[in-house]
Structure 1
Amino acid sequence: MRYVSTRGGAAARDFEGVLLAGLAEDGGLFIPESWPQFTPADWRALRGLPYAELAARVIHPFCGASIPYETLLGMTRDGYAGFDHPAVVPLVQLDTRSFVLELFHGPTLAFKDMALQLVGRLFDHVLAARGERVTIVGATSGDTGSAAIEACRDRSAIDIVILHPEGRTSEVQRRQMTTVLSPNVRNIAVKGSFDDCQDLVKGMFNDAPFRQEMKLSAVNSINWARIAAQIPYYVAGALALGAPDRPVAFSVPTGNFGNVLAAWAASRMGLPIERLIIGTNRNDILARFLAGNDMTARTVEPSHSPSMDIQVSSNFERLLFELLGRDAGATAETMARFRRDGRMPIPDAAWMQARTLFRGFTLDDEQTLAEIHHLHRSTGYLADPHSAIGTAAARALAPQDPSIPVIVAATAHPAKFPDAVERATGIRPPLPPRMADLYEREERFAILPADLTQIEGAVRAHARRNAA
């Protein structure tokens, strides 16, 4: 298996190479040169497997010769062994055709654990074999940071620096990051939005001397390994409801487009997915694109669903590359114009192609609280704001055929957003016992402006201190 850059200016790599590189040198994202294909018989053979084994079988074609299957299986078994639910990704029925796929039973109570508990182990395996050390830099709108820190804390070959937008995460999200005091972990609150944090990370990768000096790598979903590790839970949900002999639809609350891109990747592998519904909050660039080919960036606005407070959805570039017929030159030009003008010009034919599978839905803050209330009152299910956007989107945009079930990706535990949930339902969801003292733990983080020179200085100081 080889990977190419969406912008065509970086050498092709194997899986191990894209894991360590993260972002391509030309600023593009790595994507498989060709998509693995599973036959209906292949999908059926996965039914009933423990999640760790299913995950290894689905992910291994993306690894090629880089990671032996038995080694990968050992990592998935180890990575998912500590999840709070024996099914790892339990499926909860809401009504006759709607289901919730709970992705938040990992150590940080968010779907990012599904990928990062494996990605941390992949880094360990590859770095040990090479005798190398890396500095991981990441941007988070709330959940990626804590999941990445949990996956990488105390690992001898990794230093990790996470940027989060100051004051724009929930308190639980912030504390899950800033109370980890491991010496290889550094947290920076950036005066700005998530898009500013994401730009800073890309700026560090595009600074070639700094990238080489620090041996930078990434855990954001710009890293293909993150996407590959998210595909299996869509497979598990679909198989549980009859695939491949029955099509399914997924509703995914979406910010940076990585989670729903993994579902799209499953469809490219042959999983029968009838529709992918994208749920957005007031930061609705993806919904506007799907509704009217309007990919215009606006100012990021804080909301009750902060993990979706994004206007520049990095992973959309991978879909764009496919929509443009894998034309790397056209992709690079389109992304450059988006960076320059704040608007992404997409040909109508490519837009219409996207609409054959994708639909978009928007919910503002008050509507989100109303959905949390409605869902709890009508079904007894307590959802966080992001997952509630997913359930509302599923109800509004389910396929016309009532025999097609709709699976909502429940991306976070309600206790991560207790203020919003309590306001909507009168119930303040408690943290699990293992996190009961989170509000009393010491925090440690720096506050810096969205200035690349200052951020690079902080990263350099952190990595050099640990390497000394």
Structure 2
Amino acid sequence: MHFVSTRGNVKKAGFIETFLMGLGDDGGLMVPDAIPSVSADTLKGWEKLSFQELMLEIFGLFTNGEIPREDLKTIINDSYSTFRHPEVTPVKKLDDSLYVLELFHGPTFAFKDIALQLMGNLYAYVSKTRGEIIHILGATSGDTGASAIAGVRGKEGIRICILHPHGKVSKVQELQMTTVDDQNVLNLSVEGNFDDCQRIIKEMFSDLELKGKYHLRAINSINFVRILAQTVYYFYAYFRTVGAGSGKTVSFSVPTGNFGDIFAGYLAKRMGLPVGRLLIATNENNILARFVNEGIYEPGAFRTTYSPSMDIQIASNFERYLYYMYKESPETVRFLMTAFQKEGAIRVSGKDLEQAQADFAAYGVGGSECLDTIRGAWEKYAYLLDPHTACGVAAYEAVGKGTDEICVALATAHPAKFDESVRLCGIEQSFPPEIAGLFEKPQHQKVVKHSYGRVLEEIEAFLK
């Protein structure tokens, strides 16, 4: 297997080269040149594997032997040794048709830990075995930053800079990033929103001279390894609900803003996992829901919501889906992305829209609906949802019910990370000690204007 760019102007790359490249050198996103097909017999053989064993098998389909199996096994086992639950991603049954996949048992209580603990160890492995300089650059709407920092802090040969939108993440998310006082960590709080931060990061990675000079590496979901790691828990959830050989499919309801987590489910389905419907759950920043329901991909007015990690108007991973929607045609992707840059919108109709609606259902959850869902789950199941997971459950209630198919809602964060929203529901929760202790620590961050030049100035000073 090799990896290619969605825009077609990058030579075929191996697994490690793709990992280090992050964003394609032509501005596109890296994808496998052929998605491996998993047979029914293989699924049956994987059914009883632990999460770590399952990840080893799935990654083995993509790494081309570039990482010896025993080394990959060590990287994987080390990455999940710090998780608080022995299953890593346990599945909880709420009722006969609705399950919750708990993805928040890692060091920072968010689903991003699943990919970023692995990526941190993988970067350390590449740095040691190949002598690579690793300078990680990323933007976060809240959870990615803390998870990325937790994955690489203190690791020799690695430095990391994270941009987050000033005042637009939850207090716990902010503290998880900014209470880290390590010399290899820089937190920049940008006066703007997440899309502003993401735009600066993508512009830096598109500058190949800058990227090469400072050995910049990507931690965001523009990096295909992020997507691949997240694909694993779709398989794991399927095995823990209906199981291989059952002849049944499972639907997934996925809170998403940047299209990475839902694309991981799409990739799992393309590989052969018996997935029924993939439900895109958004909040009022509902560009993805509008695309699926109306055929219009166009940023609207930015809104601050109860689910800040999804306060995103431009979904980076959407380009990967366009590549497959248009039969792996980089020419079409280049045309569409150029049109989007010039006109600010992509419009599809007819058979193209029908294809999108066959691949996904989508629902935008309003603020009051989000809070009502938190209250409802607490009263009905005695189960506390964070506001992002609540969007996933609300989407299931709105467009996912009505069949005998099981639906798994992805629980993307621990509710303690978003106590502001939980308290609005009249619910008091106790904080895990790891989170409670954050409020006593000093913060380390620099507030900067939303300016490419200003951010670059800080990064260059940090990396010298």
TM-score by length of 1: 0.97
Matched to 2:191, the amino acid is: K
Residue 327 of structure 1: aligned partner: 329
User: Would the aligned equivalents of 1:293 and 1:348 in 2 still touch at CA under 8 Å?
Assistant: no
User: Would the aligned equivalents of 2:298 and 2:344 in 1 still touch at CA under 8 Å?
Assistant: yes
User: In the TM superposition, what whole-angstrom CA distance separates every residue of 1:348-395 from its partner, at most 9, and x where no partner exists?
Assistant: 322211211200011111111111001111111100000001011112
Q: Which moved more, 1:243-252 or 1:11-20?
A: 243-252
Residue 212 of structure 1: aligned partner: 212
Residue 386 of structure 1: aligned partner: 388
| Gap change, CA 1:156 and 1:45, over 3 Å in 2 | same
Paired residue total: 462
Residue 272 of structure 1: aligned partner: 274
User: In the TM superposition, what whole-angstrom CA distance separates every residue of 1:112-144 from its partner, at most 9, and x where no partner exists?
Assistant: 001011111111111211112121110000000
Q: After TM superposition, list the pairs within 5 Å mapping 1:22-61 onto structure 2.
A: 22-61=22-61
- Aligned partners of 2:449 and 2:200: how far apart in 1? 11
* Secondary structure of the structure 1 residue equivalent to 2:252: strand
Residue 293 of structure 2: aligned partner: 291
- Aligned partners of 1:434 and 1:279: how far apart in 2? 29
Structure 1 residue 194: Cα displacement: 0.4
- Aligned partners of 2:60 and 2:432: how far apart in 1? 33
Structure 1 residue 256: Cα displacement: 0.2
- Aligned partners of 1:290 and 1:442: how far apart in 2? 44
- Aligned partners of 1:268 and 1:378: how far apart in 2? 35
Q: After TM superposition, list the pairs within 5 Å mapping 1:395-410 onto structure 2.
A: 395-398=397-400, 400-402=402-404, 404-410=405-411
- Aligned partners of 1:69 and 1:361: how far apart in 2? 41
Structure 1 residue 399: Cα displacement: 5.6
User: Would the aligned equivalents of 2:369 and 2:394 in 1 still touch at CA under 8 Å?
Assistant: no
- Aligned partners of 1:60 and 1:431: how far apart in 2? 38
Residue 195 of structure 1: aligned partner: 195
Structure 1 residue 182: Cα displacement: 0.8
* Secondary structure of the structure 1 residue equivalent to 2:347: coil
* Secondary structure of the structure 1 residue equivalent to 2:137: strand
Structure 1 residue 254: Cα displacement: 0.7
Matched to 1:329, the amino acid is: E
User: Would the aligned equivalents of 1:243 and 1:272 in 2 still touch at CA under 8 Å?
Assistant: no
Residue 86 of structure 2: aligned partner: 86
Matched, 1:107 2:107: yes
Structure 1 residue 345: Cα displacement: 2.8
Matched, 1:356 2:346: no
Matched to 1:460, the amino acid is: E
| Gap change, CA 1:28 and 1:125, over 3 Å in 2 | same
Q: After TM superposition, list the pairs within 5 Å mapping 1:41-440 onto structure 2.
A: 41-244=41-244, 245=246, 246-346=248-348, 348-398=350-400, 400-402=402-404, 404-427=405-428, 429-440=429-440
Percentage identity across paired residues of the two chains: 40
* Secondary structure of the structure 2 residue equivalent to 1:186: strand
Structure 1 residue 452: Cα displacement: 1.1
Q: Which moved more, 1:435-444 or 1:248-257?
A: 435-444
User: Would the aligned equivalents of 1:274 and 1:357 in 2 still touch at CA under 8 Å?
Assistant: no
* Secondary structure of the structure 1 residue equivalent to 2:162: strand
Structure 1 residue 401: Cα displacement: 2.9
- Aligned partners of 2:403 and 2:434: how far apart in 1? 43
* Root-mean-square deviation over aligned CA pairs: 1.1
* Secondary structure of the structure 2 residue equivalent to 1:425: coil
* Secondary structure of the structure 1 residue equivalent to 2:53: helix
- Aligned partners of 1:339 and 1:347: how far apart in 2? 20
Structure 1 residue 347: Cα displacement: 5.0
Matched to 1:422, the amino acid is: R
TM-score by length of 2: 0.98
Q: Which runs of 5+ in 2 are unaligned?
A: none
- Aligned partners of 2:350 and 2:120: how far apart in 1? 40
Matched to 2:345, the amino acid is: R
Structure 1 residue 59: Cα displacement: 1.8
- Aligned partners of 2:82 and 2:165: how far apart in 1? 29
* Secondary structure of the structure 2 residue equivalent to 1:391: helix
* Secondary structure of the structure 2 residue equivalent to 1:31: strand
Matched to 1:260, the amino acid is: I
* Secondary structure of the structure 1 residue equivalent to 2:298: coil
- Aligned partners of 1:325 and 1:25: how far apart in 2? 22
User: Would the aligned equivalents of 1:135 and 1:159 in 2 still touch at CA under 8 Å?
Assistant: yes
Residue 14 of structure 1: aligned partner: 14
User: Would the aligned equivalents of 2:283 and 2:307 in 1 still touch at CA under 8 Å?
Assistant: yes
- Aligned partners of 2:66 and 2:9: how far apart in 1? 23
User: Would the aligned equivalents of 1:384 and 1:421 in 2 still touch at CA under 8 Å?
Assistant: yes
- Aligned partners of 1:351 and 1:3: how far apart in 2? 27
Matched to 1:255, the amino acid is: G
Q: Which runs of 5+ in 1 are unaligned?
A: none
User: In the TM superposition, what whole-angstrom CA distance separates every residue of 1:394-453 from its partner, at most 9, and x where no partner exists?
Assistant: 122226431x100000000000000111111321x2331233210111101111112111
- Aligned partners of 2:402 and 2:233: how far apart in 1? 25
Matched to 1:418, the amino acid is: D
- Aligned partners of 1:195 and 1:181: how far apart in 2? 26
User: Would the aligned equivalents of 1:334 and 1:345 in 2 still touch at CA under 8 Å?
Assistant: no
Q: Which moved more, 1:90-99 or 1:243-252?
A: 243-252
* Secondary structure of the structure 1 residue equivalent to 2:425: helix
Matched to 2:355, the amino acid is: Q
- Aligned partners of 1:242 and 1:235: how far apart in 2? 11
